[in-house]
Structure 1
Amino acid sequence: MSDRIFRVIVRGVFDGLTPDQRAGLLARAAEHDVLRAAFTPEGHLSYDLTARSAFTFRFQDSGEVEEDILDATERAESAAKAWLTERGYGYKNLRSQAEDLSQAPLGKRQRRAAAQRNG
């Protein structure tokens, strides 16, 4: 049973888009707006080509132990590369950041709720 949730962000920059590719991405921009961004197992892509050529994929994965975050990061990077490559989109400067939610600090409301449960 997996008890750790990992959130992985893969960032990069579109590189060498053709005018048709750019037009296609702009036509689907509403689907990929940052305001609709979510962490999903299959990955959610967001970008704003009118502002800059950067993109972000957000992935959610899980694992048993803390070290599984490395495999989750590798899977996320591979999935992002595959998505881009399958569509013929060039990219550069790919980098990833992962977070184990079991290690994330609790927010004020979460601390208050935990104190009420325990006290």
Structure 2
Amino acid sequence: MSTQHTYRVIVRGAFEGLSEESRARLLAEVDDHGMAAMRFTTEGSLAYDRTLKHFSYRLVVLSDAAEGEEMAAAIAEDRAETALAGLGHGHGELRSTVTDMDTMKINYKR
């Protein structure tokens, strides 16, 4: 069995083809999805602003270390796409930034 690592993934993209209903729902909930609401969770945390142009989705992904950061990014992008589709929000191309929390070096101040 391979070792599991914990990855923090930020999936970024742009909203595209939003319906009037989708746009109205996003604007009604914008205060719940600002900078203060950003969290890394298994379910994902959606963040955007009133311009409804760009968004980010923060996720925690557990994946085999042997499969690396590319697999963690693919899993996170799939989760983000599924969540956005479930909410009825269209989007363009996604890109991800992955941090392996198990190999991250922490510098403690003495």
Q: Same fold (TM over 0.5)?
A: yes
SS at match of 2:102: helix
Residue identity matched to 2:74: E
Query: Contact conserved, 1:66 with 1:100, CA < 8 A, in 2?
Result: no
- Aligned pairs for 1:17-96 (under 5 A) are 17-50=18-51, 52-65=52-65, 67-96=67-96
Task: Give the aligned residue type for 2:34.
Answer: D
Between 1:98-107 and 1:76-85, the stretch displaced more is 98-107
Q: Distance in 1 between matches of 2:98 and 2:45?
A: 15
- Counterpart secondary structure, 2:92: strand
- Secondary structure at the residue paired with 1:11? strand
Is 1:15 aligned to 2:11, yes or no? Answer: no
Structure 1, residues 8-42: CA drift from partner, whole Å, max 9, x if none? 11000000212221111010112211221000011
Which is richer in helix?
1
Give the TM-score normalised by the residue count of structure 2: 0.84
Secondary structure of the residue that 1:23 maps to in structure 2? helix
Aligned-partner residue type, residue 39 of structure 1: F
Q: Does the CA contact (< 8 Å) of 2:7 and 2:60 recur in 1?
A: yes
AA in 1 matched with 2:98: A
Q: Percentage identity across aligned positions? A: 35
TM-score normalised to structure 1 length:
0.78
In structure 1, list runs of 5 or more residues that go unmatched: 113-119
The Cα shift of 1:111 comes to 4.9
Provide the aligned C-alpha RMSD in A: 2.1
Please tell me whether the aligned partners of residues 11 and 76 of structure 2 are also in contact (alpha carbons under 8 angstroms): yes
State the SS of the aligned residue for 1:96. strand
